[in-house]
């Protein structure tokens, strides 16, 4: 059967209506091609959808069957073929979006029904509470009729306190009873009203959104819930979710100790899981749980889980020293198949992390459902969507590596950093004796192969004469510094905190001739950094990249290195609008080969937000946070009801740096690492103090925040000096009050800069116009030397003025 091809535009061609033979061109609108001609053109299209004019002429010469077709008509055929392909893809995309919208509409209708039930329950409870308030005598004397608000909780507490018969792994019927109870409680949380859910801000449903995210309100423990759509089948989704170490970055290990099949086609698993502590100031958690996998009558797949305790019954799990036993309340995953493919997922995470066992200032890390949602619930949903997107083949990746390989690098960086922060003894870590100060902790690992793993080539990292890994780490409390903003600054301005000598030592450890003695040096590798992106997640909340530090020649003990240095870097949590998100910057030196099995020694920063708390403003920041904390109930903090109280946003910063060492240089490396971490801490504190006012600067119009006495004194001195030397006023008379003068000085149109009176003058202050003129920031101001601003004549003139200035200052003081 012949094929007709529509030609767009004026002067269209049409072949004779006959079937075979070469087309006969006239002044009509169509050209009719034979099946053989279409097949030849399709072969070329599959190789090159947009051939050039030369390629089309070559096609006519190579295919005699196309010899009687004009080149112009072949060009039009390819144009139309591309249009048809584009229309086909667009139609397919619209069908996919329509399926997503249909499924999302169904999800929203179910959520609306659940909310209506919750509203009805709250209205009933509200009416009952009003009745109790109007009849106080009944409420105080009749204890048999409790409020439904408290009766449910009281009933649950009674049930929790009543021990059930002991059930062990040898009694499948008893474990199945626990599993069925867990399933019922989980479904009541996932689709019912067992928990009061409050939707997280910024999580809007839509065809391209992650889904509906909610957190618990006034329930025991902390809980988070997510509902979303993914383009994977339920069995594949269940397989991914069960592989918890692949997506839950805080998971250290998962051991499935028993697997028991059930009569309904499901399975019961007894699982022991260990998780990392997020900071050096808290102990890690472990869990002993029962996981139940089963199918429902509507074709849905359910994976639910809960801890086995004395109240639930069941066998006792293993106990590991240095871990705090936490509890998983009924949680899990409900996976429903969607029409046309894909799955609808309901995720519920409900845990009790024993927050009373950590210092009071850190309890928000264990009591915040938003942090749980970001670290566990949203992480699971994002990982599934990432796998689904990679399976479609539409996501580009750098470096010519497969997505699974790049994900492995991200997991190794995150896991290595967690290992460094926690320093588990069973991994070979032990503490070194301190130098009398507790601000920096030094840990060593003399069995690095056990830590790095057998799959990694560690021969380059640890020499044959013996060596190991040394980790220097510290934690500190930050005030009014958004974690995302701080980590973004540390990523983009590495020169503000990193020491090139330490970077060079870390890079040299990967080569055949490492430095003999590490030390802090101010020269070498002073070039700029270049960020080479490798991969990013679907929503850009995490990205993997290679940092190239452009190097100059560096000499040490007659060893010359002129190569660039490379860091593999993982950055996450830089979205300031993500409530409860942890911001992290982790990096490790790599060599030019960048092999898949290259050893990695991750170092970096982690900033975890603490819930905003009404406290009086603190004037100090301390590195030795552990020395000021008390474990236990310790006393309560009362929030001031005064309108002048300030809402402080707090966060915990954890820093950990790892270095390889040879045994005979261990003490030298330890001293270098301790000093380096202290230097980095000082730099980060300096950056944080500069960032915090910039975040609050926008509030000056609404509220006059009093500045420090030093700043007021500086503003007064600058104004007095200007008036003494010029006889004119720098600031207007109506700005002589302290706060107004400070603000006017900062926003003055003229550039104002102050130098310290030293042999080599150092800039200590500049207003906004001065910073703009120097093209710098307050943080980098002190690093600018006069050589970069003044020529020789200008420097000589300035130096000659110093004695006169000193004499004038002394005269003013005497007067």
In the prediction, which pLDDT does 516 show? 39
Q: Considering the domain boundaries, does residue 358 fall inside one?
A: yes
Closest CA to 269 of 255, 282, 259, 283: 259
Q: Which residues contact 148 (CB under 8 A, 6 or more apart)?
A: 124, 125, 128
* Residues 766, 193: Cα–Cα separation, whole Å: 58
Helix H or strand E segment including 107: helix 71-134
In the prediction, which pLDDT does 788 show? 64
Say if residue 653 is in the same domain as residue 729. Answer: no
In the prediction, which pLDDT does 614 show? 38
Cβ atoms of 283 and 324 within 8 Å: the answer is yes
Say if residue 442 is in the same domain as residue 307. Answer: no
Instruction: Tell which of 56, 87, 118 closes a domain.
Output: 87
Q: Which residues contact 22 (CB under 8 A, 6 or more apart)?
A: 67, 68, 69
> Is pLDDT above 80 for 599?
yes
Task: With 0.75 as the threshold, say if the pTM is over it.
Answer: no
Cβ atoms of 476 and 625 within 8 Å: the answer is yes
Burial degree of 127 (CB within 10 A; 0-12, 13-18, 19+) = exposed
Q: Rounded to whole angstroms, what are the CA distances from 627 to 123, 432, 631?
A: 49, 19, 11
> Is pLDDT above 50 for 439?
yes
Q: If pLDDT is split at 50, 70 and 90, which confidence band does 172 have?
A: confident
> Is pLDDT above 90 for 113?
no
Say if residue 692 is in the same domain as residue 803. Answer: no
Residue spans of alpha helices (H) in 637-748: 666-696, 709-726, 738-746
In the prediction, which pLDDT does 620 show? 36
508-530 pLDDT, tens digit per residue, is: 766 544 443 344 333 444 457 78
> Is pLDDT above 70 for 204?
no
CATH code at 82? Answer: 1.10.10.60
Q: Which residues contact 743 (CB under 8 A, 6 or more apart)?
A: 700, 735
Say if residue 436 is in the same domain as residue 556. Answer: yes
334-371 pLDDT, tens digit per residue, is: 999 988 788 999 999 999 999 988 888 899 899 999 99
Q: Considering the domain boundaries, does residue 609 fall inside one?
A: yes
Cβ atoms of 657 and 509 within 8 Å: the answer is no
Domain hosting 378: range is 163-391
Q: Considering the domain boundaries, does residue 120 fall inside one?
A: no
Say if residue 687 is in the same domain as residue 773. Answer: no
Q: Considering the domain boundaries, does residue 514 fall inside one?
A: yes
Q: Considering the domain boundaries, does residue 100 fall inside one?
A: no
In the prediction, which pLDDT does 366 show? 92
Of the segments 59-68, 259-268, 441-450, which one has the largest average pLDDT value? 259-268
Say if residue 474 is in the same domain as residue 383. Answer: no
Instruction: Tell which of 87, 109, 128 closes a domain.
Output: 87
Say if residue 452 is in the same domain as residue 364. Answer: no
Q: Considering the domain boundaries, does residue 20 fall inside one?
A: yes
Query: What single string gives the DSSP state of each residue in 598-614?
Result: -----EEEEEEEEEEEE
Q: Considering the domain boundaries, does residue 124 fall inside one?
A: no
> Is pLDDT above 80 for 152?
no
**Alpha-carbon torsion angle 199, 201, 207, 210, nearest 10:** -80
In the prediction, which pLDDT does 532 show? 84
Q: Which of residues 46 and 455 earns the better pLDDT score?
A: 46
Instruction: Tell which of 689, 723, 747 closes a domain.
Output: 747
> Is pLDDT above 90 for 182?
yes
Cβ atoms of 220 and 214 within 8 Å: the answer is no
In the prediction, which pLDDT does 527 show? 55
528-546 pLDDT, tens digit per residue, is: 778 888 888 877 788 899 9
Q: Considering the domain boundaries, does residue 304 fall inside one?
A: yes
> Is pLDDT above 70 for 597?
yes
Closest CA to 653 of 497, 773, 766, 515: 497
746-787 pLDDT, tens digit per residue, is: 777 777 777 765 555 667 677 777 777 776 766 566 666 666
Phi, psi of 380 (to 5 degrees): -65, -45
Count CA within 13 A, CB hemisphere, residue 621. 20
Count CA within 13 A, CB hemisphere, residue 138. 11
Say if residue 508 is in the same domain as residue 593. Answer: yes
Q: If pLDDT is split at 50, 70 and 90, which confidence band does 16 have?
A: very low
Say if residue 444 is in the same domain as residue 506. Answer: yes
Q: If pLDDT is split at 50, 70 and 90, which confidence band does 285 have?
A: very high
468-524 pLDDT, tens digit per residue, is: 899 999 999 988 888 989 999 999 888 889 888 888 888 776 654 444 334 433 344
Say if residue 384 is in the same domain as residue 455. Answer: no
Helix H or strand E segment including 41: helix 35-47
* Residues 253, 733: Cα–Cα separation, whole Å: 68
CATH code at 596? Answer: 3.30.530.20
Mean pLDDT value across the chain: 75
Helix H or strand E segment including 39: helix 35-47
Q: How many domains in the chain?
A: 5
Longest dimension (CA), the chain: 114
User: 471 - beta bridge partners?
Assistant: 443, 658
DSSP letter at 169 equals T
> Is pLDDT above 70 for 710?
no
Say if residue 474 is in the same domain as residue 349. Answer: no
Say if residue 249 is in the same domain as residue 348. Answer: yes
* Residues 383, 243: Cα–Cα separation, whole Å: 11
In the prediction, which pLDDT does 108 show? 76
Cα angle 331, 335, 340 (rounded to 5 degrees) comes to 165
Cα angle 397, 401, 406 (rounded to 5 degrees) comes to 80
Q: Which of residues 437 and 131 earns the better pLDDT score?
A: 131
Tokens of 455: 């799959």
Q: If pLDDT is split at 50, 70 and 90, which confidence band does 652 have?
A: very high
The CB density around residue 270, as the number of other CB atoms within 10 Å, is: 21
Query: What single string gives the DSSP state of each residue in 291-335?
Result: EEEEE-TTS-EEEEEEE--TTT-S------TT-EE-EE-SEEEEE
> Is pLDDT above 70 for 686?
yes
In the prediction, which pLDDT does 442 show? 93
In percent, the amount of the chain with pLDDT more than 90 equals 27
In the prediction, which pLDDT does 205 show? 53
């Amino acid at each position: 059967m012949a094929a007709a091809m529509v030609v767009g535009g004026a002067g269209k061609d049409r072949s004779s209506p006959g079937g075979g033979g070469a087309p006969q061109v006239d002044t009509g609108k169509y050209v009719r091609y034979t099946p053989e001609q279409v097949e030849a053109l399709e072969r070329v299209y599959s190789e090159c959808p947009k051939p050039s004019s030369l390629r089309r002429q070559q096609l006519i010469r190579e295919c005699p069957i196309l010899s009687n077709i004009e080149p112009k008509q072949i060009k039009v055929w390819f144009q139309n073929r591309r249009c048809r392909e584009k229309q086909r893809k667009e139609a397919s995309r619209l069908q996919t979006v329509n399926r997503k919208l249909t499924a999302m509409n169904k999800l929203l209708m179910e959520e609306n029904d659940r909310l209506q039930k919750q509203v009805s329950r709250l209205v009933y409870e509200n009416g009952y509470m009003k009745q109790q308030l109007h009849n106080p005598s009944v409420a105080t004397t009749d204890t048999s009729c409790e409020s439904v608000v408290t009766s449910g909780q009281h009933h649950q507490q009674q049930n929790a306190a009543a021990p059930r018969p002991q059930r062990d792994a040898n009694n499948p019927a008893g474990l199945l009873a626990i599993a069925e109870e867990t399933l019922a409680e989980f479904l009541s949380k996932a689709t019912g009203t067992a928990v009061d859910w409050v939707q997280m801000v910024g999580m809007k449903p839509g065809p391209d959104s992650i889904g509906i995210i909610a957190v618990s309100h006034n329930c025991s423990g902390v809980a988070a819930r997510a509902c979303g759509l993914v383009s994977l089948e339920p069995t594949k989704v269940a397989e991914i979710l069960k592989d918890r170490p692949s997506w839950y970055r805080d998971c250290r290990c998962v051991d499935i100790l028993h697997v028991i099949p059930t009569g309904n086609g499901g399975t019961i698993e007894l699982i022991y899981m260990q998780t990392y502590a997020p900071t050096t100031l808290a102990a890690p958690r472990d869990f002993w749980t029962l996981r139940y996998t089963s199918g429902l009558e509507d074709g849905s797949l359910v994976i639910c889980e809960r801890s086995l305790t004395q109240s639930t019954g069941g066998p006792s799990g293993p106990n590991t020293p240095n871990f705090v036993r936490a509890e998983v309340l009924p949680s899990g995953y409900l996976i429903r198949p969607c029409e046309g493919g894909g799955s609808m997922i309901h995720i519920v995470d409900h845990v009790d992390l024993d927050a009373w066992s950590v210092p009071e200032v850190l309890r928000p890390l264990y009591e915040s459902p938003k942090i749980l949602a970001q670290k566990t619930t949203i992480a699971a949903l994002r990982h599934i969507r990432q796998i689904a997107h990679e399976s479609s083949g539409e996501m580009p990746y750098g470096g010519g590596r497969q997505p699974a390989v790049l994900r492995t690098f991200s997991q190794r960086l995150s896991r290595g950093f967690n290992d460094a922060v926690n320093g588990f003894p069973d991994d070979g870590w032990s503490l070194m004796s301190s130098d009398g100060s507790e601000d920096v902790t030094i840990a060593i690992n003399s069995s690095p192969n056990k830590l790095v793993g057998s799959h990694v080539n560690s021969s380059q990292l640890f020499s044959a004469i013996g060596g190991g890994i040394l980790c220097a780490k510290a934690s500190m409390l930050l005030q009014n510094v958004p974690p995302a903003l701080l980590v973004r600054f540390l990523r983009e301005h590495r020169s503000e905190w990193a020491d090139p000598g330490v970077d060079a030592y870390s890079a040299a450890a990967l080569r055949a001739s490492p430095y003999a003695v590490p030390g802090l040096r101010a020269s070498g590798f002073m070039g700029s950094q270049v960020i080479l992106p490798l991969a990013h997640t679907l929503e850009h909340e995490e990205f993997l990249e290679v940092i190239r530090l452009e190097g100059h020649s560096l000499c040490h003990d007659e060893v010359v290195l002129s190569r660039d240095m490379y860091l593999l870097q993982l950055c996450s949590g830089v979205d300031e609008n993500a409530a409860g998100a942890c911001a992290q910057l982790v990096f490790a030196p790599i060599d030019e080969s960048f092999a898949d099995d290259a050893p990695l020694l991750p170092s970096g920063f982690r900033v975890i937000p603490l819930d905003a708390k009404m406290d009086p403003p603190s004037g100090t920041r301390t590195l030795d946070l552990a020395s000021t904390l008390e474990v236990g109930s310790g006393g309560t903090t009362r929030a001031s009801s005064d309108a002048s109280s300030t809402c402080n946003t707090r966060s915990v910063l954890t820093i950990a740096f790892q270095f390889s060492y040879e045994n005979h240089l261990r003490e030298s490396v330890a001293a270098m690492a301790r000093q380096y971490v202290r230097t980095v801490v000082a730099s980060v504190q300096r950056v944080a103090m500069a960032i915090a006012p910039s975040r609050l600067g926008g509030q000056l119009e609404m509220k006059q925040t009093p500045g420090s006495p030093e700043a007021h004194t500086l503003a007064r001195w600058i104004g007095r000096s200007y008036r003494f030397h010029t006889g004119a006023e720098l600031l207007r008379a109506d700005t002589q009050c302290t706060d107004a003068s400070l603000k006017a000085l900062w926003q003055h149109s003229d550039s104002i800069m102050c130098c310290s009176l030293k042999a080599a003058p150092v800039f200590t202050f500049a207003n906004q116009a001065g910073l703009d003129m120097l093209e710098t920031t307050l943080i980098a101001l002190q690093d600018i030397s006069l050589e970069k601003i003044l020529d020789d004549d200008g420097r000589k003139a300035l130096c000659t003025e110093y004695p006169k200035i000193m004499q004038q200052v002394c005269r003013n003081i005497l007067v």
